[in-house]
Amino acid sequence: MDIYKVFLLVLAFALNMTKIYSQQSMDQYKVIFTNPPQHVPTSKTPDAPIAGNGDIGVTMGGGPDSLRFYIGKNDFWRAYPVYPGGIALPGGLDILFKELKDASYYAEQLPGSAEIKATFSTKACQVHLSAWVAATANKIIIELRSDKKQIAHVRLWTVEGNGAITAHGNSPVTWVSRSFQTTKLLSWPTHIALAMNTEKDELILNPGETVRLVITVYTNHDTESWKNKAISEAIQVTDTFIKQLRWEHQTWWTNFWRLSHIDIGDTYFEKYYYQSQYLFACSSRKGKFAPGIWGPFITQDGAAWGGDYHLNYNYQAPYWASYSSNHICLTENFDQPLLDYMEAGRMFARKLLDCDGIYYPVGIGPKGLCTSMWPLTPEEMQEKYATRENTIDNGYKFLGQKINAVFSVGNMLMRYYSTYDKNYAQKIYPYLLACADFWEDYLTLEDGRYVIRMDHFNEVMPNKRNGGIWRDKLGDFNSTLSLGLVRMLFKGILDMSTFLAVDEVRHTHWSNILKKLSNYPIGVLDGRLSLKNMERGPQNKEVIASGLNRVSIHGLILPSGVMGPITDSVFNTILLGDVERWSHKQRIKGDWGNTLNNGIETCYPGAVRVGYPSDEILMHMKERIEMAVYPNSWIVQGGGGIETFAAVPLTINEMLLQSYEGVIRLFPNWNYQKDASFRGLRAYGAFLVTSSLKNGIIQNVDIISERGRLCKIENPWRNQSVQIVRDGKSAEILCGKWLQFPTIIGEKIELRVYTK
């Protein structure tokens, strides 16, 4: 055997061992189910074991004798402009075991191997199951083994009704299809086919043998030959093919988990940290449609809010932890729906507000779809909203808010500052520019300052609770949310246009807007300064201070990143005082920050950024998780769904590393009495950072510079001098509170305490 072949064998062995180690180390954070799911099917969050590849999602419902796998796909939409349009359920697979009646139920959701494993037992027999969605293909694999010969009945099915056209066949393999194509309101057609690698509806399980079911799933958004491709690939399935597919699957997930890592000595939060990242990786993927409110885990038609892209935080929030976790690949699909809607946004801005730029309603979908029109008839409007007026804002739900387009700029800037990817900046710059065009027109200069009128802190709409009367709630003046997001926009577009060397002629005006934009409104609460939601309310009424809350955080702290202890320490002290007040305002234990309905992914990392003690935050977060969480680690809230995936990872990342204020800060909000470490977290400036804390002292600081930008970091060792080591060679020595040094592309930098 020549040396090259030996090298390849050694390399293959090393890679295989790496995968095994990765799977084993990550699978320690598995979650266990000992009872069948209780909340499947549902219009909201399922409580079942789930798996996915960022496009296709599988939810395992039912009991041992009657399993039902619900198959969802992010691009299978009933493209209506009104509810009940939105994402739809393609279908699923039933597996029936007569011998498993009254069997015990045991299942695991494994983040390392990205699969569901289950064992169902009776006194007479035991069945083992594995289910996974191939990370690199449109395929679902279900493997079955039994210790006793028995027959399983299988049925591949699709959903009837809601205007869909369905078909099915069982030769040469079993297949079903569902299409939305002829309904009058449909904006564009959607077709899907599910094909399974058998024509039989009975499977014989012999002891010790593995039976594999492979379901291939394609839509017309994947390929024009969606049906033929699904069927032909199901025909071609072989054991060799499945082994190759599993290798690719394991490789993808191994590489995913290797991108970053944290160790905080707390297995409770580490489990939710990694399970949350697993759930989002199952929901979102480059080159695929972006996930809606419930991701691809749809278990019935009529998902709440159509499962759409809700633009006043629900759509944006699931991505927030991915930037600092160095999972940029999961954010690649975020921008496309927003770019696709720009033509409609320009029309709304001009027609409804006589402004340039873009103006978006609260809910959109893929391919330029609006999902959030008011009901099309006065009668439907009366039934749902207690008023016959269905022509509000030309029939579209803007809900009194002008910020729906600019809200997404927060995510765009988070990715831009984290990567300084020029191609990405060029892609999204037209969107930022269109937002700037709008706000240049919409802002009003009064008494030497720019003010914002009629952009509302909360959604304003008719409903049955207010008897259909809503106009008396209009009139917010200088909403904290609006002021923060607009400041974020103009700060960001100044940075990006400078980076791209475009539109320099507009810099003076943009800088002037930032300089003259109204201050954030502050009042007195409980004898101290506190934040107001807005400067004045409807009918020009004075508004009392009520403190920092979820909506204010969106404008000031996250995703905007325009306020913090470095940016404005005095104002940050006010916000910190407001967070301290949350403990006194809890209505019930666990509802710290009023996050039971919405906002766990906002309030907890927001509290970290203003400097509230980390141990207190984690204590409250644990109470909140225990208050409403499903066995699959999906933290549940009353409003949206997959945004809670960002809550734990983002909170912990912000405790270990912050950079949003232009300075890298290590363990900025962490109890130094607790050892912790992280590897590969991503900082603004396109830096990958690794560090550890032990016995109250930061041990190591390693930085990889992706773009060769100037690095500014808070001195990890306070007043001690620091030795910079560049690619293993000692370089300059720096001292002071803030250390600043140039880098080059691809350079590895180490920071060490300087000793003579």
pLDDT tens, residue by residue, 669-698 = 999 999 999 999 999 999 999 999 999 999
Long-range contacts of 491-499 (CB under 8 A, 24+ apart): 491/562, 492/409, 492/412, 492/413, 492/416, 492/432, 493/429, 493/432, 493/433, 493/435, 493/436, 495/417, 496/413, 496/416, 496/425, 496/429, 496/432, 497/429, 499/420, 499/422, 499/425
The per-residue pLDDT of the chain, averaged, comes to 95
Residue 461, classed as helix, strand or coil, is coil
Q: What is the pLDDT of residue 333?
A: 98
For the record, the structure tokens of 455 come out as: 């952009």
User: Residues 184-206: what's their mean pLDDT?
Assistant: 95
Residue 18 has pLDDT above 90, yes or no: no
Q: How distant, in Å, are the alpha carbons of 108, 340, 437 from that of 451?
A: 54, 30, 16
Instruction: Output the pLDDT for position 310.
Output: 97
Taking only the tens place, the pLDDT of each residue in 165-177 is 999 999 999 999 9
Sorting pLDDT into bands at 50, 70 and 90, what band is 662?
very high
DSSP string, 205-223: E-TT-EEEEEEEEEETTT-
Residue where a domain stops, chosen among 645, 675, 692: 645
- The pTM of this model reads 0.96
Check whether 11 has a pLDDT greater than 60.
no
The domain boundary residue, chosen from 616, 645, 674: 645
Read off the pLDDT of each residue in 63-71 and give the average, rounded to a whole number. Answer: 98
Residue 132, classed as helix, strand or coil, is: strand
| Lowest mean pLDDT across 12-21, 263-272, 287-296, 547-556 | 12-21
Residue at 630: amino acid letter: Y
What pLDDT does 426 receive? 98
* In 501-565, alpha helices (H): 507-516, 550-556
Cβ atoms of residues 601 and 595 within 8 Å: no
Look at residue 676 and tell me if it is in a domain.
no
Residue 488 lies in a domain: yes
In a domain, 75, yes or no: yes
Inside any domain, residue 669: no
Which residues, in sequence order, are CB contacts of 555 under 8 Å at separation 6+?
479, 480, 481, 482, 483, 484, 485
Q: How far apart are CA 339 and CA 342, in angstroms?
A: 5
Question: Could you tell me if 491 and 371 lie in one domain?
Answer: yes
Same domain, 558 and 590: yes
Q: Kindly state whether residues 295 and 193 are assigned to the same domain.
A: no
CATH number, domain containing residue 389: 1.50.10.10
Q: Are residues 242 and 301 located together in one domain of the fold?
A: no
Domains of the chain: total: 3
Distance CA 25, CA 270 (A): 12
Domain-located, residue 326: yes
Residue 146 placed within a domain: yes
Per-residue pLDDT, 24 = 78
Tell whether 254 and 271 lie within a shared domain: no
- On whether both 368 and 509 belong to a single domain, the answer is yes
The answer to the question of residue 514 being in a domain is yes
Tell me the residue type at 195. A
pLDDT per residue as tens digits for the range 361-415? 999 999 999 999 999 999 999 999 999 999 999 999 999 999 999 999 999 999 9
Residue-number span of the structural domain to which 688 is assigned: 684-753
Residues 244 and 282 in one domain: no
182 and 279 together in one domain = no
Q: What local confidence, expressed as pLDDT, does residue 184 receive? A: 84
Look up the CATH number of the domain holding residue 58.
2.70.98.50
Percentage of the chain modeled with pLDDT above 90:
94
C-alpha 731: how far from chain center = 40
Residues 209 and 311 in one domain: no
Where residue 695 sits, what CATH number does that domain have?
Answer: 2.60.40.1180
Same domain, 195 and 299: no
The pLDDT value given to residue 408: 98
Q: How many residues does the chain have?
A: 756
Query: pLDDT grade, residue 7 (50/70/90)?
Result: very low
Final residue of a structural domain among 579, 614, 645: 645
Same domain, 605 and 484: yes
Say yes or no: 273 and 253 in one domain: no
Asked, for residue 652, whether it belongs to a domain, the answer is: no
